[in-house]
Amino acid sequence: MSVVRRALAACALAALGAAASSCGHRGAGTGSGDAKGDARPGTTARMDGGAVSGGGALAAIDRAEDGRRAGELPGEWGLSSEPVVRRRAIRALARTVEPPIDGPVDAALLRALADEDLEVTGWAAYGLGWACKGREDEHVKALAARAATLADATSTGSGRAAIDAPAGIARAIGRCGGALAEGVLAGMLRSELRSVEVPEVAFALGSVAGRGALSDEAMGALLDRAAGDAAHPGESAALYPIGRLEHVPDAWTARVLAAARAALTRPSPVGPLAVRALEKAGPEALGDLGRVASRSDLGPAERAEAARALGRVGGAGRDAAAAALVKMLQDRSLLEPAALSGDLFNVLLAVVEALGQDAPKSADAGLYSLTGLPLPPRDAPGLLRRTVRLRCSAAAALARAAYDADVLAKCDPDPEGATGQRARLAALARRPIVTDRRKAFRALVASPHLAVREAALEVIALHPELEETGRALLVEALGAPEAGVVATAAQVIVQHPEHVLVLAKSERRAALDPRAPPPTAHPAMDLPADLAAALTRAVGRAWREDAVETVAALLDAAVAVSLPDARAAATRSCSDPNVTLREHAARALRALGVPQAACPRPPSAKDAPSPAASAPLAHPVRVTFETDAAKVAVVFEPELAPRAASRFVALARSGFYRGVVVHRVVPGYVVQLGDPGGDGYGGSGSLLRCETSPVPFGPLDVGVALAGRDTGSSQIFVTLARYPKLDGDYARVGRAEGDWAAVAEGDVITGVRVEE
């Protein structure tokens, strides 16, 4: 951008009242310092990005970002004549900002939005989108004004890590949300002179749709673009916001059906998004979803997404899934070892699981053929695992709540195998858990397999008839050494506190006293002493640093049952360095009667530098994972997330991933690994601070698995398709190589090779 255009952009912002606070304050710092920034004795902050305390500006910026100390990012760095300094300074600010944003930080980001360097602009937009709360319309106006100046803009950066400033601005508008944001984005779709491509505007509207309904204006603009043609298949992305709605209004159903059907007749990288829109079109789409699931000319992502959609619909969806299964099994080669070892296994499994526990009779013949699949030899563990998974999933559908059915007993050759146990648990959960079923259920809660134990604990929330048995199992689980078991028990309490509370002693005495008034509709309830003691002990335990999800769940549970120690626990977490725990603590305190509770980052917090900060990767590094089923790889790239990439490579070199299982596979969506315990709650023991970026997640991109901001540890995920909801919320650390779509849940990493 020329100097003249830069000035015009700044004027546009000022005209909208978006940057008034920064006008005339070129030296305004991002912290609480004076006009020269947050300079302290012994430091110098120069406009040319020169040395600071004897070191370089970039090193100082990195330290401030790593320590989440926005106040140590002087405003002069954002105005440096060196683009790399401005980029890194605004990137650091965008990553460290926490809402509610203060005035100097807001001014610094708004000023950077008008920068002539589009990478700076992209990072500034990202920060403004994160910090919209309380300033939604102000930020939307500023972002829209800047977008109007970018008609000839192109992405900056290199390769897959390029920062697309126009797209970033649109996504920030969508993140801010509100009626103004929706109107601006709808206008962008309508305009023929737009500076942002249709898919990116649609993805931004997806953020708006995720919060509720879309206006008729937005729906019309999206469907007009989705109509597209074969020359512009990317415009099928306009269906994405519609797929995020709870349901499509009746007035729009016919157009959504037509657009989604058309989108699925042509190849497109966003095919699964069209399937999501098809699902939201209602009962009329069920036949289409069934046909998509069984179409051999579509990719596994679309087919698996259609199968999951049928499972979510329920009764009529199961009928369509049964028809899809019958059609698929007409091709007997689908059950050959070569097919079961590939990506079609996950599609077939998704269709079988969509049948649920009330499978239509029309599926019986196909299901019986699956339960009779011959078992491969034990020296082919990956193929054996897939075969057993299909056999037991089919058996669970056929058992129809008979947990002791012969077909269930025979599906897993290992009597104590996790797959067979999960199938029996599914059958048990279909009916009241009483008498002999209760005994079988208790055995599964004591399973040696973490995933089975946790799934059994989750069943307690749906079966109030368990009463004292359920409470006793929760007491036992709260004292377990495994973080995932404890977290699951806490989540059950949060979901249904009424299942763990009992009549207060005063109510019981009144019930036995003929002179007492009749009972009320809402009698007083107490937390049983043993459960209160177990929860108190769990809340007070010294958990490892990366057990954030467990600590947060325990805090929520303490609030849900009014544990006496709840307020003290929330107060402790309110000053925790981790932002996710502080957010939970603030909500807890508000629920406990502190209406204006807020938990900002403690001013005295001085996080130790990330271990990876001292030795970042100098270049991309390929790590090959050999599993007991296949060989796949990840190329960790340090450009956008140097600390995370360095951490994962260091873990790979140390042998950390050997023996780790792939604990999560959502066919057509994501593969996740990196938890030594195999249940998704574990990590390496230490946390990673988020290095999120305004870049998209496409097929075979690799990200850091999170349970909230700054909660990464050792888990990574690999995307199998384009899912925009991941963009900006997760750190992208590299790209995957190999047939990840053929990876199955339970595959074990037997070897790791790091290629220097």
pLDDT tens figures, 610-639: 555 556 788 999 999 999 998 999 999 999
pLDDT at 639: 92
What are the φ/ψ torsions at residue 31 (nearest 5 degrees)?
Answer: -105, -150
pLDDT at 69: 77
Which of these, 615, 621, 567, lies nearest to 591 by C-alpha position?
Answer: 567
> Sheet of 716-719: strands edge to edge?
662-666, 670-673, 716-719, 701-704, 732-737, 631-636, 621-627, 749-755
**For the chain, which residues make up each domain, given as ranges?**
1-151+164-169, 611-755
- Specify the residue for token string 């209406």: 595
Cα gap 483→545, rounded to integer Å: 12
β-strand pairing of 502-503 with 716-719: unpaired
Cα gap 148→567, rounded to integer Å: 49
**Continuous H helices in 75-135:** 83-96, 103-113, 118-130
pLDDT above 60 (res 68):
yes
Mean pLDDT of the chain: 86
pLDDT above 70 (res 40):
no
Q: Which pLDDT band, with edges at 50, 70 and 90, does 160 fall under?
A: low
Cα gap 677→684, rounded to integer Å: 10
The stretch 121-148 carries a mean pLDDT of 95
Residue predicted with more confidence, 157 or 682: 682
Looking at beta carbons, which pairs linking 577-580 to residues 24 or more positions away fall under 8 Å?
577/68, 577/601, 577/602, 577/605, 577/607, 578/548, 578/687, 578/710, 578/711, 579/68, 579/98, 579/708, 579/709, 579/710, 580/548, 580/552, 580/707, 580/708, 580/709, 580/710, 580/711
The stretch 681-690 carries a mean pLDDT of 94
The stretch 30-56 carries a mean pLDDT of 35
pLDDT above 70 (res 406):
yes
Cα gap 643→616, rounded to integer Å: 6
Residue predicted with more confidence, 85 or 609: 85
Highest mean pLDDT of the ranges 30-44, 77-91, 659-673: 659-673
Query: Which residues partner with 113 through β-bridges?
Result: none
The stretch 177-196 carries a mean pLDDT of 89
Q: pTM of this prediction?
A: 0.88
599 and 567 in contact (C-beta within 8 Å)? no
The stretch 160-182 carries a mean pLDDT of 91
Element (H, E) at 735: strand 732-737
The secondary structure of residue 335, as a DSSP letter, is: G
pLDDT at 76: 75
Which of these, 292, 171, 204, lies nearest to 668 by C-alpha position?
Answer: 292
CA-to-CA separations, 269 to 233, 538, 611, in angstroms, rounded: 9, 46, 38
Cα gap 246→570, rounded to integer Å: 34
Which of these, 251, 321, 343, 419, lies nearest to 667 by C-alpha position?
Answer: 343
Q: Which pLDDT band, with edges at 50, 70 and 90, does 266 fall under?
A: confident
The domain covering 611-755 belongs, at the CATH homologous superfamily level, to Cyclophilin-like (2.40.100.10)
- For CA atoms 139, 141, 146, 151, the dihedral sign is positive
Annotate 488-507 with b (16+ C-beta within 10 A) or e (fewer): bbbbbbbbbbebbbeeeeeb
pLDDT at 407: 95
CA-to-CA separations, 105 to 9, 33, 119, 605, in angstroms, rounded: 20, 12, 18, 19
> What single-letter amino acid sits at 567?
R
> What single-letter amino acid sits at 626?
E
Query: Which residues partner with 736 through β-bridges?
Result: 634
pLDDT at 514: 75
Residue predicted with more confidence, 362 or 191: 362
Q: Which pLDDT band, with edges at 50, 70 and 90, does 18 fall under?
A: very low
Q: Using alpha carbons only, what angle is made at residue 671 by residues 665 and 675, rounded to the nearest 5 degrees? A: 90
The stretch 524-540 carries a mean pLDDT of 91
- Specify the residue for token string 């399973």: 447
Exposure on the CB side of residue 283, measured as CA atoms within 13 A: 4
Q: Which pLDDT band, with edges at 50, 70 and 90, does 27 fall under?
A: very low
pLDDT at 506: 67
Greatest extent of the chain over all pairs of C-alpha atoms, in Å = 89
The stretch 686-705 carries a mean pLDDT of 94
User: What share of residues in the chain are helix, strand, coil (percent, to 5)?
Assistant: 55, 10, 40
Q: Which pLDDT band, with edges at 50, 70 and 90, does 336 fall under?
A: very high
Which of these, 342, 333, 298, lies nearest to 742 by C-alpha position?
Answer: 342
679 and 83 in contact (C-beta within 8 Å)? no
pLDDT at 269: 80
pLDDT at 319: 95
pLDDT above 90 (res 161):
no
Q: How many CB atoms lie within 10 A of CB 338?
A: 9
307-319 residue pLDDT tens:
999 999 888 999 9
469-510 residue pLDDT tens:
999 999 999 999 999 999 999 999 999 998 888 766 665 666
pLDDT at 416: 93
pLDDT above 80 (res 462):
yes
